[in-house]
């Protein structure tokens, strides 16, 4: 390891109970899109449509984790990573989204769980990481109110088969992203657009988050139950009143809209008037069914956004000033490299007085990586992780609540609409041969965790 990759950071500074892990999601790594009875997901369908994914990439094989999971679990072990977050593919275990189950899919996840436990790695399951069964999308997907009961039945199945060994559960991953991109903008699966689809999906997903969590609580008394939110530090482009107001609306949409009902505060309709339209879909009994007392909240913070007022953008009256326009350093996602965002986000979410624990369930960066003589010198990624950890440590030393850090991601994988060009892994994947190469960032993390 060259000197510049070392850092003053030491795991012990974070305390003995601090959780260290790495995160993945089923659709992004598994491949085996139709193996052993798996049904189609909305992402299988979306990726098969022309022009949806950059460079025509698809995830038919992805990282082939379905077949190579044991090798990848060995790599997690080799990197000294004690916690592994992965998601269950709903259509792999319930091909049409509802009963009957697909036993081969259940067997597959049981093998993963057993293998992790045998290696001393703690499994952390995300129940929904965006791959809704296509058969349910045909019935309206998350825009259909029945989605709450479809999801509840699916959660029951997961608990029945995996709940005896898995303690750590996350109900829904980044609701603001998959409803915004998939139901309003149409740039993610299922490709729906418009405010009506978006608001219906938002409300049903929020109800499903609380409903799923309640089922886990009833069935697994000692479960550690969380759910994850995407969060972005927001700043106004100037100190004009217009930009400050615009930034406040974007902050409400991106950081508050999904978590506040879960925390029992209702939707932040006062600060974002379009949310008043939600009242068309909120049934009287819903008000008691939106909140849940989670054991932890997973925050996933990658960057900051700078916002200016814009009358051209409907509903939000704001636009983002891209990193490119601002001439700042960015990742392959076009996201500004701005580690202090992590500190600001921790401070902001610590202001809610009913969050018990905060775990950073994702953080990482996509940079172009090249394998040279069997090595990947991804110095930018190593620095990105170190700089974010410094911000977390600063937050911790300031007395803020933060209890864990999971890197996104174990290996390079299918980055949704971006395809395979955005590489986030601690481990490089050659997608032609499926060869894995531990990057220097992975070696640094291994050393840090040892
Ligand atoms: C958020 C999502 O949960 C994950 O699926 C995605 O790959 C990363 N962030 C990076 O964009």
Domain parsing of the chain, residue ranges: 17-449
Query: Residue 245, annotated ligand binder?
Result: no
Query: Residue 5, annotated ligand binder?
Result: no
Beta bridge partners of 363: none
* Alpha-carbon distances, residue 56 vs 53, 186, 425 (angstroms): 5, 17, 21
The predicted structure's pLDDT at residue 6 = 64
Give distance in angstroms: CA of 434 to centre of ligand 1.
Answer: 21
Q: What is the mean pLDDT of each run of 10 residues along the chain (450 residues)?
A: 66 98 99 98 98 98 98 98 99 98 98 98 99 98 98 99 98 98 98 98 98 98 98 98 98 98 98 98 95 98 98 97 98 98 98 98 98 98 98 98 98 98 98 98 98
Query: How far is Cα of residue 219 from the mean position of the Cα atoms in its chain?
Result: 25
| Cβ neighbours around 70 below 10 Å, total | 13
The predicted structure's pLDDT at residue 2 = 45
Residue 165 corresponds to which tokens in the numbers above? 């060994």
Going by alpha carbons, the residue nearest to atom 6 of ligand 1 is: 415
Specify the ligand 1 atom closest to the Cα of 173. Answer: 3
d(C-alpha 32, C-alpha 433), whole Å:
16
d(C-alpha 273, C-alpha 378), whole Å:
44
Catalytic residue among 30, 174, 260, 305: 174
Query: Residue 302, annotated ligand binder?
Result: yes
* Contacts for 331 with CB less than 8 Å, ≥ 6 apart: 303, 337, 365, 366, 367, 384, 422
Assess contact for 237 and 243: CB atoms under 8 A: yes
Going by alpha carbons, the residue nearest to atom 2 of ligand 1 is: 174
Integer Rg of the chain from CA: 21
Beta bridge partners of 309: 318
The predicted structure's pLDDT at residue 287 = 87
* Contacts for 345 with CB less than 8 Å, ≥ 6 apart: 231, 232, 233, 255, 299, 301
d(C-alpha 328, C-alpha 107), whole Å:
47
pTM over 0.85: yes
Annotated catalytic residue 336: no
Annotated catalytic residue 319: no
The full 3-state SS of the chain, as one line of letters, equals CCHHHCCCCCHHHHCCCCEEEEECCHHHHCCCCCHHHCCCEHHHHHHHCCCCCHHHCCCCCCCCHHHHHHHHHHHHHHCCCCEEEEECCHHHHCCCCCCCCCHHHHHHHHHHHHHHHHCCCEEEEEEECCCCEHHHHCCCHHHCCCHHHHHHHHHHHHHHHHCCCCCEEEEEECHHHHHHHHHHECCCCCCCECHHHHHHHHHHHHHHHHHHHHHHHHHCCCCEEEEEEEEEEEEECCCCHHHHHHHHHHHHHHHHCCHHHHCCCCCCCCCCHHHHHHHHCCCHHHHHHCCCCCCEEEEEEEEEEEEEECCCCCCCCEEEECHHHHCCCECCCCCECCCHHHHHHHHHHHCCCCCCCEEEEECCCCCCCCCECCECCCHHHHHHHHHHHHHHHHHHHCCCCCCEEEEECCECCCCHHHCCCCCCCCEEEECCCCEEEECHHHHHHHHHHC
Q: Please state which CATH number belongs to domain 17-449.
A: 3.20.20.80
Query: Residue 90, annotated ligand binder?
Result: no
Pairing assessment for the beta strands 318-321 and 296-309 based on DSSP bridges? antiparallel
* Alpha-carbon distances, residue 42 vs 89, 135, 136, 210, 349 (angstroms): 11, 8, 9, 23, 32
d(C-alpha 336, C-alpha 305), whole Å:
8
Specify the ligand 1 atom closest to the Cα of 174. Answer: 3
* Contacts for 21 with CB less than 8 Å, ≥ 6 apart: 81, 82, 83, 84, 85, 122, 124, 404, 405, 406, 407
Give distance in angstroms: CA of 300 to centre of ligand 1.
Answer: 8
Give distance in angstroms: CA of 141 to centre of ligand 1.
Answer: 21
């Amino acid at each position: 390891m060259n000197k510049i990759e070392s850092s003053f950071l030491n795991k012990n500074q974070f305390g003995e109970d601090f959780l260290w892990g790495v995160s993945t999601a089923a659709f992004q790594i598994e491949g085996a899109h139709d193996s052993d009875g798996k049904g189609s997901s909305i992402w299988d369908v979306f990726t098969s449509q022309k022009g949806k994914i950059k460079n025509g990439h698809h995830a038919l094989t992805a990282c082939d984790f379905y077949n190579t999971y044991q090798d990848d679990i060995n790599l997690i072990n080799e990197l000294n990573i004690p916690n592994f977050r992965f998601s269950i593919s709903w259509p792999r275990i319930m091909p049409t989204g509802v009963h009957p189950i697909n036993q081969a899919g259940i067997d597959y996840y049981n093998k993963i769980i057993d293998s992790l436990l045998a290696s001393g790695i703690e499994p952390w399951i995300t129940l929904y990481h965006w791959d809704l069964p296509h058969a349910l999308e045909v019935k309206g997907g998350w825009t259909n109110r029945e989605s709450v009961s479809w999801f509840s039945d699916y959660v029951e199945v997961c608990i029945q088969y995996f709940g005896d060994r898995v303690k750590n559960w996350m109900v829904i991953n980044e609701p603001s992203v998959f409803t915004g991109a998939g139901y309003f903008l149409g740039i993610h699966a299922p490709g729906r657009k418009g405010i009506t689809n978006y608001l219906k999906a938002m409300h049903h997903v929020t109800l499903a988050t609380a409903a799923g969590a309640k089922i886990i609580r009833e069935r697994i008394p000692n479960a550690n139950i969380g759910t994850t939110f995407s969060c972005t530090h927001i700043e106004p482009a100037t100190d004009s009143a217009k930009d400050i107001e615009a930034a406040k609306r974007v902050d409400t949409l991106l950081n508050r809209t999904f978590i506040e009902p879960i925390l029992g505060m209702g939707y932040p309709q006062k600060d974002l008037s379009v949310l008043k339209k939600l009242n068309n879909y909120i049934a009287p009994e819903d008000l008691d069914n939106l909140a849940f007392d989670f054991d932890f909240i997973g925050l996933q913070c990658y960057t900051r956004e700078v916002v200016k007022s814009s009358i051209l953008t409907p509903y939000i009256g704001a636009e983002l000033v891209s990193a490119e326009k601002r001439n700042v350093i960015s990742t392959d996602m076009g996201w500004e490299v701005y580690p202090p965002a992590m500190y600001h986000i921790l401070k902001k979410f610590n202001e809610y007085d009913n969050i018990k624990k905060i775990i950073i369930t994702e953080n990482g960066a996509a940079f172009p990586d090249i394998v040279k003589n069997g090595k990947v010198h991804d110095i930018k990624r190593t620095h990105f992780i170190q700089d974010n950890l410094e911000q977390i440590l600063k937050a911790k030393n300031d007395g803020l609540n933060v209890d864990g850090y999971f890197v996104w991601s174990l290996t390079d994988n299918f980055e949704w609409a971006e395809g395979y060009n955005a590489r986030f892994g601690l481990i490089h994947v050659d997608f032609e041969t499926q060869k894995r190469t531990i990057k220097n960032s992975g070696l640094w993390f291994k050393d840090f965790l040892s």
